Amino acid sequence: MLVCCFYFRFMIPSDDHLIRWQQLLELTEKRWQEPPLLNKLLLLIGEKECGMPPRNNYTEREQEDLIQMAVSTVLVPARYYELFWVEDTGWPHYRQLQRLPPMSDEERENFLKPWIIAYCVKNRMVS
C-alpha cells in the first residue's frame, strides 16, 4: 500500500519534479549531444550502476542490458525488483518481485519518471 501512495503522490507533477526532470533531460542532452529521450537517461543510470565508463557506441544488446538494469534499479523502492547479487565486475543482477502492468510507451515514461527522479536525487545526479 505504501508503494501505491508514493506513486500516486508523484502522479501530479509538482514544480519541483518538473524542474528536476528538466535538469535530467539537460544532463542527457549534454552527454549525448542529442535530443533527450527516456532511454538515454536510463543508459546514463545503467552506466552509473554498473560502473562502466561512458561510451557512445554500445551494441544493441549492451543498450538493452543497461536499460533493463536501470529500470530494475529505479524500481527497487517500488518493490518491483530486488537486488539479487553483484558480479565481481560490478554488474548487478535483480530478481523480479512482481510484473509491471502492460503499458504504452507514454504510460511507461509517466510511470518511471517519479522513480527516476527519486533515484537521481538520492544519487546526487540532480539537486
pLDDT digits over 62-75, tens only? 999 999 999 999 99
81: left (phi over 0), alpha (psi -120 to 50) or beta: beta
Q: Is 73 exposed, middle or buried (0-12, 13-18, 19+ CB in 10 A)?
A: buried
Inside any domain, residue 1 = no
Average pLDDT, the chain: 83
Q: What is the DSSP string of 28-67?
A: HHHHHSS---HHHHHHHHHHHHHTPPP-S---HHHHHHHH
Confidence of residue 85 (pLDDT cuts 50, 70, 90): very high
Domain housing 102: 19-122
What pLDDT was estimated at residue 92?
A: 92
Inside any domain, residue 11 = no
Domain count within the chain: 1
Inside any domain, residue 13 = no
- Are 39 and 67 contacting, i.e. CB atoms less than 8 angstroms apart? yes
pLDDT digits over 36-62, tens only? 788 888 998 998 898 878 888 889 999
